[in-house]
Structure 1
Amino acid sequence: MAEYRGLGFDPAPGNAGAVAAASERCAAAFADPGAPPERWTGAAADGFKARLEAVVSELAAVRRAMRAAAEVLDGWAGTLLGDQRQAEQLDRRALRLRRELADAADEVDRSGAMARFTAAHATVHDGAVTRHDELTRRLDEVLDEARRLERDHHAEARRVAARLRAEEPSTAVADALTGFSSLTAELASVLLGPSRPAATRGAGAAFRAGLG
Structure 2
Amino acid sequence: MRKLAALLLVALVVFLFISRPLIPDKELIDYFENNKAELYRLARSYQDYLPPPGKPHAMWGDIHRAELDALGIKLMTSTILVQYPQDPKGQADYQALIPNYGQVYRYGAISIRKKGKVEGIRCKFSRGCHEYAGLIGGVMWKRLIYFRFPPQIRGKEMRIAMTPGKLAIRQITPLSYDSIGNWQQRHSCLYKRLDPHWFIRKCRA
Indicate the TM-score class for this superposition, using the shorter chain for normalisation: under 0.3
Greater relative contact order: 1 or 2 (C-alpha under 8 angstroms, separation 6 or more)?
1
TM-score, normalised to structure 2, is 0.23
Decide which structure has the larger Cα Rg and report it. 1
Q: TM-score, normalised by structure 1?
A: 0.22
User: Counting helix residues as a fraction of each chain, which structure ranks higher?
Assistant: 1
